[in-house]
Amino acid sequence: MRSSTRSAVDPFIVMDVMQAASAAEAAGRHIIHMEVGQPGTGAPQGAVAALGQAMEQGALGYTVALGLPALRARIAQMYGDWYNVDLDPGRVVITPGSSGAFILAFTALFDTGDRVGIGAPGYPSYRQILKALALQPVDLPTSPQNRYQPVPADFSGMDLAGLMVASPANPTGTMLDRDAIAALVGACDAAGTSFISDEIYHGIEYDKKAVTALEVTDDCYVINSFSKYFSMTGWRVGWMVVPEDHVRVIERIAQNMFICAPHASQIAALAAMECDGELQGNMDVYRANRALMLEGLIEAGFTKIAPPDGAFYVYADVSDLTSDSRSFAAEILEKAGVSVTPGLDFDPARGLSTLRFSYARSTADIAEGLARLKAFMAAR
Ligand SMILES: Cc1ncc(COP(=O)(O)O)c(C=O)c1O
Indicate if ligand 1 lies below 6 Å from the C-beta of 193.
no
pLDDT band at 219 (very low <50, low <70, confident <90, very high): very high
Q: Is the CB of 174 under 6 A from ligand 1?
A: no
Which residue ranges form the domains of the chain, and what is each CATH number? Answer: 5-43+277-379 (3.40.640.10), 60-274 (3.40.640.10)
Cα 123 to ligand 1 centre (Å): 8
For ligand 1, atom 3, the nearest C-alpha belongs to: 200
CA of 215 to the centre of ligand 1 (A): 22
CB of residue 114 inside a 6 A radius of ligand 1: no
Q: What secondary structure letter does DSSP report for 211?
A: P
pLDDT band at 11 (very low <50, low <70, confident <90, very high): confident
98 within ligand 1 shell (Cβ under 6 A): yes
313 lines ligand 1 (CB under 6 A): no
What is the per-residue pLDDT across 28-70, written as a single tens digit (0 to 9) for each?
Answer: 999 999 998 899 999 999 999 999 999 999 889 999 999 999 9
Segments of 122-257 assigned E as strands: 136-141, 162-166, 194-198, 221-225, 238-241
How many Cβ atoms from other residues are within 10 Å of residue 88's Cβ? 14
pLDDT tens by residue, 69-106: 999 999 999 999 999 999 999 999 999 999 999 999 99
- Three-state DSSP at 125 gives helix
Does ligand 1 have an atom closer than 6 angstroms to the CB of 358? no
Q: Which atom of ligand 1 is nearest the CA belonging to 311? A: 16
Taking the C-alpha atoms of residue 191 and residue 251, their distance in angstroms, rounded to an integer, is 27
3-state SS class at 149 = coil
CB 306 within 8 A of CB 172: yes
Contacting residues for 183 by C-beta, under 8 A, at least 6 apart: 151, 152
The reported pLDDT for the residue numbered 13 is 82
For 250-297, write each residue's pLDDT tens digit.
999 999 999 999 999 999 999 999 999 999 999 999 999 999 999 999
Confidence (pLDDT) at 207 = 94
Q: d(Cα 171, Cα 55) in Å, to the nearest integer?
A: 37
pLDDT tens digits, 284-315? 999 999 999 999 999 999 999 989 999 999 99
The model's pTM is: 0.96
Q: Is the CB of 197 under 6 A from ligand 1?
A: no
* pLDDT beyond 90 at 151: yes
Binding site membership of 204 for ligand 1 (Cβ less than 6 Å): no
Mean predicted confidence (pLDDT) in 227-246: 98
Q: Average model confidence (pLDDT) for the chain?
A: 96
